Structure 1
Amino acid sequence: MAWRRHLPALASAAAGINEASDAWDAVSGSLCDADGWPLDDKVYGDGKVKRDADAWKHAEVFLDHGPEVLAGVRAAADGPDYVEGPISDDLRRLRGIDTTLLRAEELRHEWDGVMALMDGSQPSVLHLYQERAEEHRNTEGWHYAHELSYQGPALVRIGELLAHRADTERPAQTERARVALTRSPHNTPAASPASPSVPPAPHPPAPGQSR
């Protein structure tokens, strides 16, 4: 279960996305009038830009480690886990995570391509276009980050439970193997080989008989 080493990073990333969302929700209402229109377009826009940037930073952690954890979780989960039990609901929440990760990875790839085209530009121009490109990527990426805000915690919970279950079952399996080994006929102590019989001593010749 090498994938389990990524669970802390994914848990932190999921929390980071939710923190970015909660921080924006806490102030966005106060930036609008009674009809929901921004009181100051720039202030409102800057707030969304920050939210999107913070969320995308954490979404990229899922792009780096999520596929490996997802594959490991699916390999470790049993059929009954999908029907009932403590992770059945979370497993259902993962049904769309493949699409989320795929689309987000495509977005990151597109942004990398844009930055490659800008390579060699004047520093002042590069900085301007890079800032705009990042803002566009983060705005597009907010949708995927939002999806991961509830798919991600589900993946982490499943991974933690399956890892704990494996740790719990391993000692029992080891003990069963030990008991089976001790009962194996190959491990029954062999009987000590019988001592070779000592031939009887020859009878002494009768008196008066020649040897």
Structure 2
Amino acid sequence: MFLVESEAILATWDAYSDKHTDADGWPYDEVSYGWRMVQRDSETWRAFQSIRYSARELLATAAVQLQHINSGDVAPRWAWQLAELTRALENLEELRSGHAKVREARRSLPPVSQEEFVDSLAERNEEAWDYLDTWATQGRALLDIHAVALKAPTRVLSAVPASAAAPVQRPLGRLG
């Protein structure tokens, strides 16, 4: 689900950006362009939440599957893609956690205005954009690995290392 949503979000953004920038990539209206960028970041963050709880399990499963796939069937880029997805997930978790801590610390202070709250979310989403884009562009590797694993003689479909299999009572997301 996330891959489909993120592709649509990025296609919409690309079309908007192409129409609202000059030949050198400078926006005609910086304010409108900035607000549209905030919308893109927010939509992508929201779309990622559908797989956030299961992302680590998806990565662990793909890593195990990769170990059991015939080496001739392994795309050379997959190990790199898994490493990039892992790095991006760690950064996303850090941003989410940091934002939650700031919100919690603010509970003892006078309430922030709606504008300040929205600005803090926009800032988090902007910082998260590169990591979300990594998931949007490299996440298909998880599906590719799984597709090859389906054909593997040992049928390594959902082997998950014990560390990643710890019971977590959270909804599972759908990647594609």
The bucket for the TM-score relative to the shorter chain is 0.7 to 0.9
Is this contact kept in 2: 1:90–1:158, CA < 8 A?
no
Alignment of 1:129-208 (within 5 A): 129-162=116-149, 164-165=150-151
Is this contact kept in 2: 1:118–1:126, CA < 8 A?
no
Q: Deviations over 1:112-151 (max 9, x none)?
A: 111112225555x342222011000010010001111122
Partner of 2:89: 101
1:61 Cα offset (Å): 3.5
Q: Which moved more, 1:55-64 or 1:13-22?
A: 55-64
With a CA cutoff of 8 Å and minimum separation of 6, indicate the structure with the bigger relative contact order: 2
Q: Deviations over 1:182-205 (max 9, x none)?
A: xxxxxxxxxxxxxxxxxxxxxxxx
Larger C-alpha radius of gyration, 1 or 2?
A: 1
Tell me the amino acid that sits aligned with residue 30 of structure 2. Answer: D
5+ residue gaps, structure 1, are 1-11, 171-211
1:165 Cα offset (Å): 3.8
CA root-mean-square deviation: 2.6
1:166 Cα offset (Å): 7.1
Partner of 1:111: 99
**SS of structure 1 residue aligned to 2:54:** helix
Aligned length: 155
Determine what percentage of the aligned residue pairs are the same residue.
Answer: 26
Is this contact kept in 1: 2:63–2:82, CA < 8 A?
no
- Report the Cα distance in structure 2 between the residues aligned to 1:37 and 1:138, rounded to whole angstroms: 22
- Report the Cα distance in structure 2 between the residues aligned to 1:38 and 1:73, rounded to whole angstroms: 40
Is this contact kept in 2: 1:63–1:104, CA < 8 A?
no
Tell me the amino acid that sits aligned with residue 47 of structure 1. Answer: R
> Hey, which of these two has a bigger chunk of helix by percent?
1
Tell me the amino acid that sits aligned with residue 75 of structure 2. Answer: S
Is this contact kept in 1: 2:69–2:148, CA < 8 A?
no
- Report the Cα distance in structure 1 between the residues aligned to 2:119 and 2:155, rounded to whole angstroms: 52
5+ residue gaps, structure 2, are 157-176
Partner of 1:50: 39
- Report the Cα distance in structure 1 between the residues aligned to 2:23 and 2:85, rounded to whole angstroms: 37
- Report the Cα distance in structure 1 between the residues aligned to 2:69 and 2:143, rounded to whole angstroms: 19
How does the TM-score come out when normalised to structure 2?
0.75
How does the TM-score come out when normalised to structure 1?
0.64
